[in-house]
Amino acid sequence: MRVIAGSAKGRHLKGPPSQRGGNRSAAPRPSSELVRGALFSALEAMGADFSRVLDLYAGTGALGIEALSRGAEWCDFVERDRAMADVIRQNLELTGFAGQSKVHAIAAERALERLSGNYTLILADPPYADAAAAEVLERLARSALVEDDAIVVLEHSARDEPRGDLGPFRLAKQLRHGDSAVSIYLPAGRGTIGGDHC
């Protein structure tokens, strides 16, 4: 797994620690390079503002690090698993972005009460089995943490039908590749619904 583009292009990132047994559906599942590449190409085409990014359910931190590599000024990473939070810190050191970021080893629903906000881009890649993630994103989208013209991104199983809206944000575009789908939400009144394969 590596950074695709930007100042840290080609840098290899550490993946999740190997797991034996346990709930595989809740295990970290990093976004593939193909999915990340298609997502960031779509975001750049939409004129996404990378000023202040939130990587929610961050896993290895690959999505937020990709944003930092492409010019984001700051990224908050939220990951409840402490071992994975340590992997994110290592990846930030490897890519030189430790000074432009903070890792919060806390559950996403609790993080909403502690983050300072003004996010222009939300990247969320919750475990596919996490039924509570949609409610957390709904709360986040309606909160003062998110700029009015922000973009919200949700990666989910391609078998799941995406929600048409998240608070004041409406589904504008969907990307699909294999078992993964990425839904991109824009403020109501901006953009139209579309779908593409990666």
How far is residue 174's CA from residue 18's CA, in Å, rounded to a whole number?
Answer: 31
Q: Are residues 44 and 71 in contact, defined by beta-carbon separation less than 8 angstroms?
A: no
Q: Report, as an integer, the average pLDDT of 119-130.
A: 93
Q: Where are the domains of the chain?
A: 30-197
pLDDT at 29: 59
Instruction: Identify the residue whose tokens are 């013209």.
Output: 149
How far is residue 134's CA from residue 129's CA, in Å, rounded to a whole number?
Answer: 11
Per-residue model confidence as pLDDT tens digits over 72-105: 999 999 999 999 999 999 999 999 999 999 999 9
Q: Is the pLDDT of residue 129 over 70?
A: yes
Instruction: Read off the DSSP letter of residue 163.
Output: P
pLDDT at 18: 66
Instruction: Identify the residue whose tokens are 């593939």.
Output: 32
Per-residue model confidence as pLDDT tens digits over 144-190: 999 999 999 999 988 988 889 999 999 999 998 888 899 999 998 76
- Max avg pLDDT among 14-18, 106-110, 159-163: 106-110
Q: Is the pLDDT of residue 197 over 90?
A: no
pLDDT at 24: 42
Q: Is the pLDDT of residue 19 over 60?
A: no
Using 50, 70 and 90 to split pLDDT, how confident is the model at 117?
confident
pLDDT at 161: 85
Domain covering 30-197 in this structure, CATH number: 3.40.50.150
As to burial, measured by CB atoms within 10 angstroms (0-12 exposed, 13-18 middle, 19+ buried), residue 132 is exposed
Residue 19 or 117, more confident = 117
pLDDT at 23: 46
b/e map 21-60, b = 16+ CB within 10 Å: eeeeeebbbbbeeebbebbbebbeeeebbbebbbbbbbbb
Give φ, ψ of 162 to 5 degrees: -70, 150
Q: Report, as an integer, the average pLDDT of 11-33.
A: 67
Q: Mean pLDDT for the chain?
A: 89
Q: Is the pLDDT of residue 20 over 50?
A: no
Task: Identify any residues that bridge with 176 across adjacent strands, giving them in sequence order.
Answer: 181, 197
The one-letter amino acid code at 2 reads R
Q: Is the pLDDT of residue 25 over 50?
A: no
